[in-house]
């Protein structure tokens, strides 16, 4: 499959978990891929894996919350790989704050990673997409944008904001031939979900989570990557402003 042939894709948080699968699938579908992540060791490893497999890929250590760092990373990618026409805002963090004890600094960090970063990357990649007259942005939100659970305050607020940003940006850039969509995963087996189970005071949390899955299992990063790469491709040419659930049906469940 080469549905992303000739495209230049940025995947934030592409060194691990869902982002790593997105980067690998996009490269396999023909895109030149830039992995931008804080995790230098994992990022360098992923770059080697992709380059050794014959794909075009680079890693740049990047803090997605730092506007200057983002601007420099986008400039480097443009110089090395060409103008960016696919942006996947995937870097994210969980949060388990207590609403009274949470500090303003903690609040700001959550919103910087889970929401502001998507604005920063859009701000610095849109000029090249507008010049090209095409582009696709995919924001990795969460089922928490629509439904949530106690103990993850205020993750749902940041992810709901990201879905709102998706709609708003989609309308702003549609006249330039640029599409903007969100993907909202449910439970996906990564370090983030392992951390969620590990910090949960309920020792049965993992079993209970499994017990409510309509498909009777937790999803894989590859299953999210498949939807992201579809949305980034011309196969989704009439899809914009949408939020695609990849949650095994959990968001459809009432009882």
Ligand X SMILES: NC(=O)c1ccc[n+]([C@@H]2O[C@H](COP(=O)([O-])OP(=O)(O)OC[C@H]3O[C@@H](n4cnc5c(N)ncnc54)[C@H](O)[C@@H]3O)[C@@H](O)[C@H]2O)c1
Q: Is 39 in the site for ligand X (CB under 6 A)?
A: yes
Q: Is 187 in the site for ligand X (CB under 6 A)?
A: yes
- Compute the least distance from the CB of residue 192 to ligand X, in Å: 3
Our CB check for ligand X shows the closer of 29 and 90 to be: 90
| Those residues with Cβ within 8 angstroms of residue 92's Cβ, 6 or more apart along the chain or in another chain | 13, 113, 114, 140, 142, 192
- Compute the least distance from the CB of residue 158 to ligand X, in Å: 9
Q: Is 191 in the site for ligand X (CB under 6 A)?
A: yes
What is the total residue count of the chain?
A: 255
CB 147 within 8 A of CB 251: yes
- Compute the least distance from the CB of residue 48 to ligand X, in Å: 16
Our CB check for ligand X shows the closer of 151 and 177 to be: 151
Of 155, 187, 196, 238, the catalytic one is: 155
Our CB check for ligand X shows the closer of 85 and 114 to be: 114
Instruction: Write down the residue that tokens 């699938």 correspond to.
Output: 25
Q: Is the dihedral of CA 16, 111, 195, 160 positive or negative?
A: negative
Q: Is 47 in the site for ligand X (CB under 6 A)?
A: no
Distance CA 20, CA 26 (A): 10
CA dihedral of 125, 9, 7, 121, whole degrees rounded to 10: -10
Of 11-30, binders to ligand X (CB under 6 A) are 13, 15-19
Q: Is 46 in the site for ligand X (CB under 6 A)?
A: no
- Compute the least distance from the CB of residue 126 to ligand X, in Å: 20
Q: In what order do the strands lie in the sheet with 32-37?
A: 57-61, 32-37, 8-12, 86-89, 135-140, 178-185, 243-246
Residue 155 is a catalytic residue: yes
Task: Give the x-and-dash track for 93-112 against ligand X (CB under 6 A).
Answer: x-------------------
Nearest CA among 64, 78, 73, 67 for reference residue 132: 78
Binding site for ligand X (CB under 6 A): 13, 15-19, 37-39, 62-65, 90-93, 113, 140, 142, 185, 187-188, 190-193
- List the catalytic residues: 155
């Amino acid at each position: 499959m080469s549905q992303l042939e000739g495209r230049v894709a940025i995947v934030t948080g592409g060194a691990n978990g869902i982002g790593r699968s997105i980067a690998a699938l996009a490269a396999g579908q023909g895109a030149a891929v830039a992995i931008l992540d804080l995790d230098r060791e994992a990022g360098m490893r992923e770059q080697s894996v992709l380059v050794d497999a014959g794909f075009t890929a680079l890693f740049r250590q990047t803090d997605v919350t730092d506007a200057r760092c983002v601007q420099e990373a986008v400039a480097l990618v443009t110089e090395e790989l060409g103008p960016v026409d696919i942006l996947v805002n995937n870097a994210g963090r969980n949060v388990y704050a207590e609403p009274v004890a949470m500090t303003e600094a903690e609040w700001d960090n959550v919103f910087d990673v889970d929401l502001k970063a998507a604005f920063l990357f859009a701000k610095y990649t849109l000029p090249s997409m507008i010049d090209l007259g095409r582009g696709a942005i995919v924001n990795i939100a969460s089922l928490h944008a629509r439904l949530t659970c106690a103990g993850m305050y205020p993750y749902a607020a940041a992810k709901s904001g990201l879905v709102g940003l998706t709609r708003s940006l989609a309308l702003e850039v549609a006249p330039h031939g640029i599409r903007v969509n969100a993907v909202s995963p449910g439970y996906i087996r990564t370090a983030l979900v392992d951390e969620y189970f590990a910090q949960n005071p309920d020792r049965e949390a993992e079993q209970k989570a499994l017990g409510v899955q309509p498909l009777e299992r937790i999803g894989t990063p590859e299953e999210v990557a498949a939807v992201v790469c579809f949305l980034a491709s011309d196969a989704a040419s009439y899809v914009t402003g949408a939020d695609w659930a990849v949650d095994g049906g959990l968001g459809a469940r009432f009882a």
